[in-house]
A = this chain, B = another copy of it.
Amino acid sequence: MLYLVGLGLSDETDITVKGLEVVKKASRVYLEAYTSILLVNQEVLESYYGRPVVLADREMVESNSDEILRDAQTEDVAFLVVGDPFGATTHTDLVLRARELEIPVRTVPNASIMSGIGAAGLQLYNFGQTVSMVFFTDNWRPSSFYDRVKENRDIGLHTLVLLDIKVKEQSMENMARGRKIYEPPRYMTVGQCATQMLEVEEDRKEGAYGPDSLAIGAARVGGKTEKFVAGTLKELCEQDEVLGAPLHSMVLLGRRTHELEHEYVREFAVDKETWDRMWKAEYGKQQ
């Protein structure tokens, strides 16, 4: 049996009791750690589980899945995924490969950022499609997120923006020379995300949002040091120190908001007067 086990969002104790039982009895345990990360590292997990964990990088999962699935017709293999197992496409692929090999698959669900973001105080049924924001470079500034944000905003919905992480990346030079030397991991901050969003609006000028649009920056959702900061996009460009360490994510508000959401989120506002003024002008409209 292949078990896809969600680890939740924060630390080693966010695994479910059911998931922990699977991990303790499986023949081999893999940890997918390139689409998201926990706030604790591999050693903490190994010590907590009392057994070794193999880090599965993108290459292993995408090109060498047969090693992960080896003998899973008769043995139990646990494949651990931060958040919920079906947050990322890659794992769908792994299940399809298991089906081909006639390996039974079972999933142990857990919190995903897509549900966990509810802790910010916005109602989950007011969210539209989720988008991803990648690190811009001088000559690569993909803005397909913009059209999706605009679609959500046009019908009044919130947009969850998931921020890029770069783990096990090679520099251009090391890649060219075939040297397996990796750069330190990088995690996009809310400030970087807000800045890139405003740059794209400057280019596109279609009014999907603006410097005064309200948003919420979230850090370490589900963890003991979880932190939310609410404000205009312009204000959120400068809140990285307040938010602190990774992981960050962001929500751009839609106009179809409820008074309860206003009251709940106001507690996190950088400036409550600005928050109230912008809310009154643009939000709380059902149509």
Contact = CB atoms under 8 A, between A and B. Distances in A.
A284 interface: no
The interface size bin for chain A is 35 or more
Interface stretch (A50-58, A125-133, A171-179, A233-241): A125-133
Contacts of A123: 89, 92
Contact of A16 (B14, B99, B261): B14
A118 interface: yes
A124 interface: yes
B129 A125 contact: yes
Q: Is the interface of A mostly helix, strand, loop or mixed?
A: mixed
A202 interface: no
A14 B13 CA distance: 13
Given A84-B115, A114-B114, 10 more contacts: A13-B16, A84-B116, A86-B118, A87-B118, A92-B264, A96-B260, A96-B263, A107-B119, A124-B130, A151-B155
Interface of A: 6, 8-9, 11-18, 20-21, 83-87, 89, 92-93, 95-96, 99, 106-107, 109-112, 114-116, 118-119, 121, 123-132, 151, 155, 157, 221-222, 224, 226, 258, 260-261, 263-264, 267
